[in-house]
Every structure is written in C-alpha cells, then in structure tokens.
Amino acid sequence: MKSLASVLLPVLLVPALSAQCFETNLGVLAPRGANAPGVGDDELFDLQPLNFAFPIGGVAASYTHAHVQTNGVVFLTNGALSGATTTGFSTNAAAQLTNLRGNSGQPPRIAPFWRDLVLDAANNGAVWINNTLPGKFVVTWQNAIQFQTPGPLFTIQAQLFATGEVSFAYGPTTDSVAPVILGVSAGNGIAAVPGVDFSQANTSGSTQLMFERFPGGAFDLALRCLRFTPNGGGGFDVLSSLPASHTSYGQGCYDMAVESFYQGFATAVPAAAALTGQSMVLTPTTNGYTAVWGGGSYIAPTGAATTLVIADDGDTTVTPSQPLPSPFGAATDLRVHANGIVSLGPVPQNFPGTNPYTPTPAALLAAGRTAFWSWHDYNPTEVGSGRVKYEEVLVGADTVACITWDGVENFPPAPIANPSTLQFQLNLGSGQVRLVWVDIDDNTTSQFGSGHVIGFSPGGASADPGSIVLATALPRTTSPDRQALQLSATPAPRSTASSGTTVTYTTTNIPEAAPGSGIYLGANILSLAGVPVPGVELSFLGAPGCRAHVLALNLTQTLVGGSPMLAVTFDIPAGVPTGFELFAQSCALVVPFSLPNGQNGFGLVTSNGIRSYISPD
C-alpha cells in the first residue's frame, strides 16, 4: 500500500503565497491628527508610509504611501494626499464601479469591502495599521458595523506585499445589508471590465482592475482569504481559499453513563407500589458499588436510638463510631437530610436546579456530595410525625449504623396522616449499604408534589443513564462514567509551495485493552474519503452503536501505550492543492464483552471523524 504522503507529494499545484491569510499583529490604531485614532465614520486617516514600493500601474509605476479610509478602502500615493472622497460608498452598481476605477489622474485603490462602515469605540471597533513587518503593509477594520444597522460586527483585513501581491481576509460574520464592491484597481480611470466570482480561482488577464459586486445579504466570502498575485501579463490571478482547518464530524462510541443510577417516580402512588416491602443492597467495589434488588431486612430501632434534630427540608451531621469505608474514601461523618438522603462527609448536600423538596434526576446527577437517595418530601417536624433516628447495632461481627425514618410524615401537613417508614443500613466494617422500605405512603395531595427519586450518585456531575426500573434492571455495577473515543488534530493543516505541516492526531478516552492491564491499543486511520454522517453502523461486526467515518484505510498508524490518551503524527507535505481534504478516524481494541454492560462482542470501539481542509492560510 502506498503511504498517504506518497499520494500527496506529486501534487504541486499551489502558486507561491507569501504569507498566511490573517495577520494577527495588527500594529497601531490608525492616527487621525488630533482626533481619536482608529475610530470614526466616513473618515480618512493620516497618510502612512508603506516602507516599500508597491508595484501597480496607474498614474505611476509604484507607490510608497497609503491613505486609509474607514469605509473599507485604501488609496495609494507617493507621499501626497490621495485627494479621495471620504464617502464614495454608493449602492448604485455603476457608481460603485466608477469609484473603484477612479477618474483620470486619481491613484490606485485597494478595496477589501467598500461600503458605508462605522468604526465605533462602543463596539470595540477600530482601524489598525502595521507598516513594521518586512515587505508587508497591513490594514485591519476590526469590529466594523454598517451605518445605521444593529449588526453584525465583522472584521476584514487587507495586506499589501512588496512583491505586488494583495490579500483580503474576512471574518466569519462578514456580510452586507446593502450592495458592496470589493477588488483591486490601478485607478486613473482604468477601462471597465466585467466583474468576476471571487469564490473561484480567476484571472484579470492583462488589466489591473478586478472586482466582484455583491447585492445586499449575498456576501459569500466570510471566513475566506483572497490572494491577488501579479500574473506576469500585466494583471492578477486570484485564488480564494478557506483557512486550513480540522473539523470533527460524526460520533464515537461509547458514551457510558455508568457511575450513577436512579428510578424516578412522578407521584407517590407508583412509588408506594414499587417500594413498600422492598429493599436494595449496595456492595462496594473498587470504583463504585454493585447494587442488587432485595436482600435487606428491617432492623427496628430500639429505645436506645438517638432522635436526630432535623428541620423540615433540613439536615444534620452524624459521626459514626468508626468511619464508613467507601470506594471514594472512608467517611468519618455522614450528612442526614430530612428528605431521605444520606451523604458521605459533613458538608450539606446541594440540589442543583431544584430545591430540597422537589426530587429531580438532574439534581441527583449534579449534586456535589456522594449520596444514597430515597428522596421525597418528608416532614419530621409535623405535629404527630415520627422522627428520624440513628442507632448502631451489631449484626454478627459487624457494626451497622441504622438511620430510620420511623413513621415520618409526608406533605401535605396535618390533619392528613400519611407516615412512611424506611431505613438506611450502613455497615461500618464492610461499607455495604442497604435501603429498606417498610411502608411508603401513597398520598398525592401535597401542593409541592409527591414524587420520589431513588438511587446512588457520586459527588459531582454524572452523565444521565435514564430512569431504570430497579426491581428488574439490577444488578448493576457502577464505575466512573466513560466518554466515547475522541479524536482531535492540531495544528491547522497548512501547505504552501515550499512548506507543509506536521499534524498531531490525538485519541483520548481509550479503554484498557483488557480490564486492569494498563495497556491501551488502537489505530489511527487516514483516508482520502470520508463517509457522510452518521457513518456506517458496525453492528454487523459485533460493535453495535459504533460507526465507520472513513471510506478506506489509505494509511494506518498503530496506537499502543500505557495511557488512555495516545498520539501519532503525520506530515502534510508542501505543494498540496488548496481545498484538498484528508479524513481521519481512530479505533481502539478491547477484550470482547469487557466493556461496562457487557456490550461489543467484536472488541472494537471507534472515534468521531476528522475532516482536514488543507490550505496555505
């Protein structure tokens, strides 16, 4: 198989280009006498030396100075004022062309965007000039806005080179609500010629007038770079290109929401039916818990149990006689919330996006503290309510901390009697946690709702696995959420006639080849063609949910290492034609069925695709 570099190297079609499209060194604000520099409406700034002789015809063979106007045009002179109008932005097609051609004796004009522009300090708008770069003069109209319009703000730039080349660069929001003209003209009443389409490569032949006029709202050069290069015949060749870029497309596999789980109940009726008389046991693992349905039995509190003083929708700290082991570190304190939540540590739980008495899965998943949730709007302060109690008991050789909602009332308040009894059992030796629901009330008349959310989530944001039916979806083992295999590429893939770019392709979120091995295996694939989104589904290989985003394996680079992030490089050679596209995708190899949830019998996961647009800019 040929290497991709050998495929690209013979293609030497890009003309010589002297610099990249947008010059980030803007220089200084364009001076305007005693006035504020860089800003204004219908203004000519002070005459500026180019610091080289720019070769273009017209009233002279070359020019040494620039007269910059706010309205997106530069007039060239040899040290005298240009005599140019500060306006000249007519929307009439014939008048726009006449302005660009100039009258007999008038100097050349370089017009990246000749329109009625305002450079306003309130918008951080300004005209900048830089004549300190060797062989280059740069003018930038930054955050320009069209007269009497609310927007958009946009930035354009013109560069003049000592070679006689000119470049225009357009920001992503560049557009015009009224007709606009742009181009290069030697002035001096140069003979009119038809306009051209600057979105395509073009030539002016032997004339030094080249332009395109856009109706209002039809500007199609946003994000593009235009290059005017003397063609040896007296005119210009123009090349239009987008900036070199890498664009991600499609999706990798798999995003796995495996560190949290929950079941949501909209009201107390289904919650009571599902929970009353049931239990759930969570046994610690290395990275989380294995939850099973059933296996717990109620331990009734004795007269020695401590009644916890907890306000309605409040919480309190309990310090067990010994720390509770957990996969997240031993907890010397527990935070008990009135509404059926036990968190690890002494810090109060938070409820992002809601409040303590309105259970939502989103808050469980985003909450800041690792917690076990049997979340519902309980009120232990209601008259006649039972209380939340704490007691440590011996079960065999283990000390178990029991936190019991012992006939605690639900909203609505008295005179309705609607108590519930449930219990958290925390084994201070093994770290096992049991939730036992003795009797869950089914009253739905609370003005605040009667929903329940039952589950577990470690502190911090977790991906949403969706509500499950605990009675049938368990057992379930939690572990840190896994993100899909992800491919990225840097830097931008630029190629000129004389230089190329070394691109680094980085793959992240690589799963271990075998659980616990510490070895990560895969490949980066480069292709001359991509597959349209959503890609080719790979269920037929035994990798359901994974997709191919490249059409062929033109070059395959091995990924192997001791980290879930691995990188390879590829050299984009010099001389690749502007607009050439290269496609990439990575994959990783795992033991079949070793991923969480036992999916993927083939043992292959794939990344998103990367489309690389090669350009000199």
Among 45, 27, 25, 26, which Cα is nearest to 35's?
45
Pick the range with the lowest mean pLDDT from 11-20, 117-126, 129-138: 11-20
pLDDT more than 70, % of the chain? 96
Q: Is there a domain that residue 15 lies in? A: no
Residue 542's domain is classified under what CATH number? 2.60.40
Q: In which region does residue 275 sit, left (phi positive, over 0), alpha (psi from -120 to 50) or beta (all else)? A: alpha
Q: Model confidence over 300-346: pLDDT tens digits? A: 999 999 999 999 999 999 999 999 999 999 999 999 999 999 999 99
**Any domain includes 583:** yes
Residue 325: DSSP 8-state:
P
> In 3D, which of 80, 193, 212, 68 has the Cα closest to residue 131?
68
pLDDT of residue 415: 79
Looking at residue 605, what is its pLDDT?
A: 95
Residue 347 lies in a domain: yes
- Best-predicted range by mean pLDDT (220-229, 356-365, 508-517): 356-365
Beta-ladder partners of 457: 371
Please check whether residue 1 lies inside any domain of the structure: no
Instruction: Summarize the chain as % helix, strand, coil (round to 5).
Output: 5, 40, 55
- Is the pLDDT assigned to residue 365 strictly greater than 50? yes
Return the pLDDT at 256. Answer: 86
Tell me the pLDDT tens digit for each residue of 400-442: 999 999 999 998 777 789 999 999 999 999 999 999 999 999 9
What pLDDT, on the 0 to 100 scale, is given for residue 17?
Answer: 27
Query: Residue 495: is its pLDDT beyond 80?
Result: yes
Name the band, by pLDDT with cuts 50, 70 and 90, for residue 373.
Answer: very high
Give mean pLDDT, residues 44-58. 96
The answer to the question of residue 144 being in a domain is yes
CB 514 within 8 A of CB 492: no
Same domain, 162 and 187: yes
| Residue 284 domain boundaries | 261-477
Residue that is last in its domain, among 173, 205, 240: 240
Whether residues 191 and 295 share a domain: the answer is: no
Residue finishing a domain among 477, 497, 519: 477
Q: What is the pTM of this model?
A: 0.62
Predicted local confidence at residue 280, as pLDDT: 98
Same domain, 468 and 490: no
Q: Is the pLDDT of residue 8 over 60?
A: no
Is the domain of 317 the same as that of 462? Answer: yes
Asked whether residue 438 is assigned to any structural domain, the reply reads yes
How far apart CA 408 and CA 378 sit, in angstroms, is 7
Q: Could you tell me the pLDDT band of residue 11, with boundaries at 50, 70 and 90?
A: very low
DSSP 8-state symbol, 5: H
DSSP secondary-structure letter at 35? B
What confidence tens digit (pLDDT) does each residue in 241-278 have? Answer: 888 889 999 999 998 889 999 999 999 999 999 999 99
Query: Do 409 and 509 share a domain, yes or no?
Result: no
In 57-204, the DSSP E strands lie at 62-69, 73-77, 109-114, 117-119, 126-130, 136-146, 154-161, 166-170, 180-185, 202-203
At residue 312's C-alpha, the angle toward residues 276 and 328, to 5°, is 70
- Predicted local distance difference test score (pLDDT) of residue 2: 32
- Is 410 strand, coil or helix? strand
Residue/partner pairs of 50-54 with CB below 8 Å, 24 or more apart: 50/131, 50/137, 50/160, 51/131, 51/132, 51/137, 52/135, 52/137, 52/162, 53/162, 54/137, 54/160, 54/161, 54/162, 54/164
Q: What is the pLDDT of residue 440?
A: 98
Res 474 pLDDT > 80: yes
Same domain membership, residue 250 and residue 197: no
> Which of 6-10, 130-134, 542-546 shows the lowest per-residue confidence on average (mean pLDDT)?
6-10
Q: Are residues 587 and 446 in the same domain?
A: no
266 lies in the same domain as 234: no
Quick one: 94 exposed, middle or buried, by C-beta within 10 A (0-12, 13-18, 19+)? exposed
What are the tokens at 39? 């800003």
Supply the mean pLDDT for the chain.
Answer: 92
Supply the pLDDT for residue 150: 82
- Residue 473 — φ and ψ, nearest 5°? -90, -15
Q: Give me the mean pLDDT over the 463-469 stretch.
A: 95
If asked whether residues 98 and 224 sit together in one domain, one would say yes
Whether 239 shows a pLDDT value over 80: the answer reads yes
440 domain-assigned: yes
Q: Do residues 335 and 466 both lie within one domain?
A: yes
* Residue from 615, 612, 609 nearest 490 by CA: 612
Whether residue 125 sits in one domain with residue 106? yes
At 14, the pLDDT band (50, 70, 90 cuts) reads: very low
Average pLDDT in the 172-186 region? 93
Better-predicted residue by pLDDT, 9 or 168: 168
Name the domain boundary from 477, 505, 534: 477
Same domain, 473 and 494: no
- Domain presence at residue 223: yes
Percent of the chain with pLDDT over 90: 84
Domains in the chain, number: 3
pLDDT-derived band of residue 129, with 50, 70 and 90 as boundaries?
very high
